[in-house]
Structure 1
């Protein structure tokens, strides 16, 4: 269980809003201000209705960002210097006013450097009214005939609206009119300030289409400014208002308390729908465009302005004028407003005049002005940061937190960027060369803002009553009830007016009684019909009850069937899962089977190959053995014959290697797995035999021989003797310099031309060794020993392997 902090109200979850996946980009428009002096250098050129081009002024150095001297920027619409206020309103603000009347919110703000024409675009001048007065005029032109009486709609101080009856509204009007300090004037235009008179030409008036005639409307306005990141109510009484004389209803003004009371900053709060609003801000109900604009002008005079080098009346704060429209449907008869707060629709249009961004070096600001400029630039920087993060979240799919709370401007309007209404921005630019660098920054911000998309607002639900109730009820009254004649008495002896008035009232009373009787008849008839319907309904209820019982039984059967179906589906899924497992296992086994079969086939092939190699080797070795045996047999026979013919035995000649002598050798024979019993082996007397290089052995010898044995390509074993000399190094060590390689190889030759001596041939006498005898011996001993080697024949050889070759 989660415990809640003491003294804190639990946060209410936001209401579920209708989902709407449609989004619209922020509408960004550009308006170019005319140059103040004709000969002044211009750095902005309008290329088309949607594109402008910036030209770098003479002497301007390209900054570190690499800005080109000519850069183009595109907008939804570009308004040149010749565009009128009416054209600008028709294209930008009129759709927002239409949405306001149809229950949708809107936000429109002007942005630009100081002196770019933002306030003129928003407010205008006499004869050239800006967006604000034209919006008010269009609203009242559209809902004028359908306005509710004053105080029927009443604010609940929590950003909502209450509806009270006309009687309560009448009592509140009387109470407030009695407390008015100044008597009312008959004409509202007499109270207008001359500076704001005739802001709009009647020929330029607009009116919204498709206004709901079965609803009643009321307009509330409020005006605030955000100065140094504090919110102040411009319609609240300040010190200047407190010291002015007040009317007490008589002819003598009464001076109020003149003690200085500084204005209190307001705070932002969140309503039950999680929309931000300014708590404690005055919301004044107005009934005409003149009255609303008069209230705006009263707050405009309190706005913080200052004289700088860039602008004689530079705005030092962000101003927000809020137009709130409350509307509620009429009842079924079309006479009174429906007394249901849930049916009240509240929409608002915020018109924001942002303070201009500026560099303190150009404005020459000091002291308070520097702090004001810093706060203005900081709030605009935070607006830029929020726009950048919104764009990054939408384009990259990230979910970064947007820092709305870092500034009052962004915190107040966070709901609009979250999808509570349309957002539009008018970028005002001054084409003079001195503003070129700041204008580039404004263009970048505007270009980035166009890439942010806002969720499209959802249409409000329409009341379920039949349309046309107001007009139908009014026509019914005019048709049935006769008009009341004039009751003005100009003569005390007038005997005509009163009787005529009495007669008209009697006729109206008679008609009223007839209408009541008809109404009662219709009501009785309707009651009878309802009773019959009730009886039918009762019988139908019984039938329905029986059918409901059957339906309950059928539902039980259906539920049982559903349970059985679910059980079978689960069983089917389980069987399918088992089948999948078995199929996967079968695939694995088949793969293993193929692998093992391939491996078995490979092994069989290798075994067959080895067997064939073995058979070939056996055949070859058998041939070699038989040949060798045959050769030795012949040689033995030859030697036997030779020694039988000669009396003196022949001493074997021992051939010495050229390496024998005073030199001492290192006989390096590495360990080998070859069978060396039939291979010629070098025999080196007094040699030091080693199986691995040894420094100690090298220090005692002069020559070095390395024995290397391997199987040749023909299958015979051959021996390589790698010879070298041991030399002394400068460091006192020994090194081997190889100089020669000898190769010993065993070859088998066939013995031919050998002839046996017949037993009939006699032997020569002892000591008679003629040439013929030696020739015969050489013929019979036709096998000689031969060694093939390279140069520098060194060691002698032990005849384990004999190379036999027939002599020519």
Structure 2
């Protein structure tokens, strides 16, 4: 976490304190809604390290970016983000200023200081346009270099820092230069850089040399993302420039930086309106067994890359008052940052809870491009820039909260590079062998250096030396013949040496002519092959353009089909949800119906039992009523019997008064059942039939008289009396 430098405009300070334990405490400013009720809100956020306002670029580079450069040299990928609110100092942290270079120029400087003596010649490594590298032969690389030198439009590498562009010549002083010591000397290295921006969720190449037409200007062509054979994402058709020095690399960066979209907003004078990605790709391959040339094996080429990402700052339209295109830019920026947060939260949830939710990488080009890094293909570092302004309190709190959550996401360790299996120290042995060979050739003399004064002096010393000659006596006849003999000997030696020199020169010239003819023949053959290759390349480019158009068409169709599939999936989910709702409703109705049936069955049973009791009660009541009626009729019959008995004694005068028969008592036992009534009383139900019999005591004595009396008592007809008596008997019985 890094605090931004002091803003240009006066602001209300925001209380922010950092502690040695890498914890930052955020105090809400006065007048905030959360503090109007008198409560003072403080929040603390913990990070791996907090850099204060007084931290310089060197300290930040040593702690954050330097380990990534070391991993880059050891064939490990790296990703560095700068994240924060707009105007918090992200671009300054990444780029820096003259005299105080940022992370990017310092990373390039330490990289070239480390691999400088071990760099391969230009065009030995060549991108294969599929996110890989291939190794060219010495002749092909030489032809490429000659072709590049013939093009005056391509600037050569600056020879020193003083001759570079003054805008970035003094980014890093010589006293601040750094380098690594543990570099593999048995490898050759080449550095390639690319620079893109993601604007409104479209990818544009900032290093593309597009012809500008002032009459009919065309919008830059957007690039697409593709996946290579190792399932790594890359930008198809992106320009990759091979650089050999820090100045050349930063010059390429500055060329793309001038094309980047920036705008003047209410919060920042030069606000980045896009996410920029500067990629440093390092290709390295081991030397052969002799330590002289690169091993011609594509499988031994290791490519690692470091992505330096300057994210556009999140902003609120209510503060920036953006309209039109600025409003659209702000919406796309916030949407991409929200997608980044969502991906981090899903990754964190999958790692903590053990779930396997799909991470929405494809919702934004930023997350889709760096999908491999989040899945464990490299080390990821994030620098959070915070501006201590009271107006940025809400955005700063969200940024700190998100940055604290991202620390819980763990990325898998990258795989180490394969070992070539050759002995170490090949370059050093080859260099020692060449030094020894050159020293021995210097001792023996080189024919190519015949005009060297030292060599001529050595040749003159190899001739016979002249004796001291002085004529004193005119009659001396020995000195001159001896001198003539020595001169003739020197002349013969000189002629012999001249002949040997001519023979050696002739053989060497013949050898050189043969070599030149062979080289010319080989060069002619290579040019023929090159022309054929160019034709093949042209046809392949045509085919590639056709395939790209077809691919775009298919991608468009795939997008349409994907949208259709999503729509159908949504309809399917809605229909399935509706079906589940209906099933639940039907299940509830079935449950209610069963419950209602059980309730109705209980009610029917209760009602049946109730009516059975009621009917039983009514039957018992009727039986009791009928019994009472029978009792009443019995009483009436008894009274009638008494009357009849009294009437029959009117015309008879017995001599002896008969004994009065004993009257049957009504209080005798009867068979029956006793039931409890609902009112608390009791009811009696008789179960047998009571038969009332009556015998006339005088019937045996005076039967004719009784009949006579009845017949005379009842009236004139005997038929009515008989019928009446029969009715009485039936009723009595």
* TM-score bracket, shorter-length normalisation: 0.5 to 0.7
Aligned to 1:224: 196
1:173, CA displacement in angstroms?
0.7
Q: Does 1:396 align with 2:369?
A: no
Q: Does 1:480 align with 2:480?
A: no
Measure, in 1, the Cα distance between the counterparts of 2:162 and 2:152: 18
Measure, in 2, the Cα distance between the counterparts of 1:210 and 1:67: 56
**202-211 or 186-195: which moved more?**
186-195
Q: Is the 8 A contact 2:157 2:245 kept in 1?
A: no
Aligned to 2:94: 122
Tell me which of 449, 452, 463 is aligned to 2:406.
449
1:697, CA displacement in angstroms?
12
Aligned to 1:690: 673
User: Which consecutive residues of structure 1, in runs of 5 or more, have no partner in the other structure?
Assistant: 1-28, 244-256, 487-492, 514-663, 665-683, 705-808
Measure, in 1, the Cα distance between the counterparts of 2:330 and 2:451: 76
Tell me which of 167, 186, 195 is aligned to 1:214.
186
Q: Does 1:171 align with 2:128?
A: no
SS in 1 for 2:115: helix
1:226, CA displacement in angstroms?
0.2
Q: Does 1:101 align with 2:73?
A: yes
SS in 2 for 1:420: coil
Measure, in 1, the Cα distance between the counterparts of 2:47 and 2:292: 48
SS in 2 for 1:151: coil
In structure 2, the CA distance between the partners of 1:484 and 1:357, relative to structure 1 (3 Å rule), is farther
Aligned to 1:639: none
Tell me which of 260, 275, 291 is aligned to 1:318.
275
Measure, in 1, the Cα distance between the counterparts of 2:303 and 2:222: 25
Measure, in 2, the Cα distance between the counterparts of 1:696 and 1:51: 85
Q: Is the 8 A contact 1:305 1:315 kept in 2?
A: yes
Measure, in 1, the Cα distance between the counterparts of 2:238 and 2:46: 39
Tell me which of 252, 261, 277 is aligned to 1:295.
252
Q: Does 1:376 align with 2:333?
A: yes
Aligned to 2:123: 151
Tell me which of 208, 225, 228 is aligned to 1:236.
208
1:693, CA displacement in angstroms?
2.9
Tell me which of 400, 408, 417 is aligned to 2:365.
408
1:202, CA displacement in angstroms?
1.3
Deviations for 1:398-437, whole angstroms, at most 9, x for unmatched residues? 0000000000000000000111000000000001111111
Q: Does 1:357 align with 2:314?
A: yes
1:175, CA displacement in angstroms?
1.5
Aligned to 1:45: 17
Superposition map of 1:295-694 within 5 A: 295-482=252-439, 496=453, 689-690=672-673, 692-693=675-676
1:61, CA displacement in angstroms?
1.3
Q: Is the 8 A contact 2:158 2:247 kept in 1?
A: no
SS in 2 for 1:435: helix
Measure, in 1, the Cα distance between the counterparts of 2:182 and 2:158: 32
Aligned to 1:205: 177
Measure, in 2, the Cα distance between the counterparts of 1:502 and 1:221: 55
In structure 2, the CA distance between the partners of 1:695 and 1:326, relative to structure 1 (3 Å rule), is closer
Q: Is the 8 A contact 1:485 1:500 kept in 2?
A: no
Measure, in 2, the Cα distance between the counterparts of 1:287 and 1:484: 33
In structure 2, the CA distance between the partners of 1:693 and 1:62, relative to structure 1 (3 Å rule), is same
In structure 2, the CA distance between the partners of 1:502 and 1:448, relative to structure 1 (3 Å rule), is farther
Normalising by structure 2, report the TM-score: 0.61
1:37, CA displacement in angstroms?
6.4
Q: Is the 8 A contact 2:227 2:234 kept in 1?
A: yes
Measure, in 2, the Cα distance between the counterparts of 1:420 and 1:42: 39
In structure 2, the CA distance between the partners of 1:67 and 1:153, relative to structure 1 (3 Å rule), is farther
Q: Is the 8 A contact 2:187 2:287 kept in 1?
A: yes
Q: Is the 8 A contact 1:32 1:79 kept in 2?
A: no
In structure 2, the CA distance between the partners of 1:258 and 1:151, relative to structure 1 (3 Å rule), is farther
Measure, in 2, the Cα distance between the counterparts of 1:695 and 1:153: 111
Measure, in 2, the Cα distance between the counterparts of 1:440 and 1:309: 21
Tell me which of 222, 234, 239 is aligned to 1:265.
222
Aligned to 2:27: 55
Q: Is the 8 A contact 2:88 2:387 kept in 1?
A: yes
Structure showing the higher helix proportion among its residues:
2
Aligned to 1:277: 234
In structure 2, the CA distance between the partners of 1:54 and 1:329, relative to structure 1 (3 Å rule), is same
1:698, CA displacement in angstroms?
5.5
1:459, CA displacement in angstroms?
1.6
1:167, CA displacement in angstroms?
2.1
Aligned to 2:616: none
In structure 2, the CA distance between the partners of 1:371 and 1:691, relative to structure 1 (3 Å rule), is same
1:40, CA displacement in angstroms?
3.8
In structure 2, the CA distance between the partners of 1:331 and 1:432, relative to structure 1 (3 Å rule), is same
Measure, in 2, the Cα distance between the counterparts of 1:77 and 1:697: 92
1:397, CA displacement in angstroms?
0.5
Q: Is the 8 A contact 1:33 1:431 kept in 2?
A: no
Q: Does 1:133 align with 2:116?
A: no
1:209, CA displacement in angstroms?
2.8
User: Which consecutive residues of structure 2, in runs of 5 or more, have no partner in the other structure?
Assistant: 444-449, 461-500, 509-627, 629-666, 686-733
In structure 2, the CA distance between the partners of 1:479 and 1:57, relative to structure 1 (3 Å rule), is same
Measure, in 2, the Cα distance between the counterparts of 1:146 and 1:67: 63
Q: How many residues align?
A: 477
1:62, CA displacement in angstroms?
1.7
SS in 2 for 1:285: strand
Tell me which of 35, 53, 63 is aligned to 1:91.
63
SS in 2 for 1:481: helix
Q: Does 1:33 align with 2:16?
A: no
Tell me which of 105, 110, 113 is aligned to 2:85.
113
SS in 1 for 2:411: strand
Measure, in 1, the Cα distance between the counterparts of 2:398 and 2:201: 22
In structure 2, the CA distance between the partners of 1:485 and 1:444, relative to structure 1 (3 Å rule), is same
Q: Is the 8 A contact 1:33 1:429 kept in 2?
A: no
Q: Is the 8 A contact 2:85 2:395 kept in 1?
A: yes
SS in 1 for 2:375: helix
In structure 2, the CA distance between the partners of 1:501 and 1:171, relative to structure 1 (3 Å rule), is farther
Measure, in 1, the Cα distance between the counterparts of 2:208 and 2:301: 27
SS in 2 for 1:221: strand
